Amino acid sequence: MLLEQLSQRAIAVRLDDVPEDALTTARFAILDTIGVTLAGASEPCTAIAGRALGATGRGAASLFGRAARVAPLDAATINGTASHALDFDDCSNSMGGHPSAPVVPALWAIAEQDGAGGAVVLEAYVAGVEVETKIARAVNFHHYEKGWHPTATLGTFGAAAACAKLMQLEAPAFTNALAIACSMASGLKANFGTMTKPFHVGQCARNGLYSALLAREGMSANPAAMEDPQGFLMVFNGEGKFDAARMIDEFAAPYDLVEPGIAFKRHPCCASTHPAIDALLRITAEHDLKASDIAAIRSWTHPRRLRHTNRPNPQSGLDGKFSVQYVLARAALDGSVRLDHFDDAAVHDRQVRAFMARIVAEPHPESVMESTEHFFAEVEVTTTSGETLRAYVDRPLGRDRAHPLPPGALETKFRDCAAPVIAEDAVHAIEAAILSLEDQVDIRAIGDVMRDGLRHAEPRRAAFG
79, 105 contact by CB (below 8 A) = yes
What stretch of H or E contains 295?
Answer: strand 294-301
Percent residues over pLDDT 70 in the chain:
97
Q: Are strands 91-92 and 294-301 parallel, antiparallel or unpaired?
A: unpaired
Q: Is the pLDDT of residue 140 over 60?
A: yes
122, 84 contact by CB (below 8 A) = no
User: For residue 296, what are the contacts with CB-CB under 8 A and spacing of at least 6?
Assistant: 358, 359, 360, 381, 382
Radius of gyration of the chain (CA): 21
104, 83 contact by CB (below 8 A) = yes
How far apart are alpha carbons 102 and 128 in whole angstroms? 10
90, 33 contact by CB (below 8 A) = yes
The hierarchical CATH code for the domain 2-263 is 1.10.4100.10
Question: Mean per-residue pLDDT for 395-407?
Answer: 87
Query: CA angle 24-25-30, nearest 5°?
Result: 100
SS3 8: helix
DSSP state of 249: H
166, 254 contact by CB (below 8 A) = no
The pLDDT-based confidence of 62 (bands split at 50, 70, 90) is very high
pLDDT of residue 371: 66
Percent residues over pLDDT 90 in the chain:
89
How far apart are alpha carbons 74 and 82 in whole angstroms? 12
Dihedral sign for Cα atoms in the order 35, 37, 39, 41: negative
Q: Is the pLDDT of residue 463 over 70?
A: no
- State pLDDT tens for residues 142-160: 999 999 999 999 999 999 9
Work out the number of other CB atoms within 10 angstroms of the CB of residue 215.
26
- State pLDDT tens for residues 259-306: 999 999 999 999 899 999 999 999 999 999 999 999 999 999 999 889
The pLDDT-based confidence of 329 (bands split at 50, 70, 90) is very high
pLDDT of residue 401: 84
pLDDT of residue 367: 80
Q: Using alpha carbons, select from 266, 248, 275, 264 the residue that is nearest to residue 24.
A: 264
- State pLDDT tens for residues 76-97: 999 999 999 999 999 998 999 9
Q: Is the pLDDT of residue 57 over 90?
A: no
Assessment of whether the complete model's pTM goes beyond 0.95: no
Work out the number of other CB atoms within 10 angstroms of the CB of residue 411.
16
Map out the domains of the chain as residue ranges. 2-263, 271-393
How far apart are alpha carbons 121 and 117 in whole angstroms? 7
The pLDDT-based confidence of 461 (bands split at 50, 70, 90) is very low
How far apart are alpha carbons 231 and 365 in whole angstroms? 37
Question: Mean per-residue pLDDT for 303-316?
Answer: 93
- State pLDDT tens for residues 382-396: 999 999 999 999 989
Pick 271-393's CATH classification: 3.30.565.10, 3.90.180.10, 3.40.50.2020, 3.30.1330.120: 3.30.1330.120
381, 294 contact by CB (below 8 A) = yes
DSSP 192-237: TTSTHHHHHHHHHHHHHHHHHHHHHTT----TTTTTSTTSHIIIII
Three-state SS for 325-356 is: HHHHHHHHHHCCCCHHHHCHHHHCCHHHHHHH
Q: Using alpha carbons, select from 438, 7, 398 the residue that is nearest to residue 223.
A: 7
Q: Do domains 2-263 and 271-393 have the same CATH topology?
A: no
366-397 residues labelled b (16+ CB within 10 A) or e (exposed):
ebeeeeeebbbbbbbbeeeeeeebebebebbb
Which spans in 115-149 are helix H?
118-139, 142-146
pLDDT of residue 370: 65
Phi, psi for residue 354 in degrees, rounded to 5: -65, -40
Phi, psi for residue 419 in degrees, rounded to 5: -55, -40
How far apart are alpha carbons 246 and 223 in whole angstroms? 18
The pLDDT-based confidence of 457 (bands split at 50, 70, 90) is low
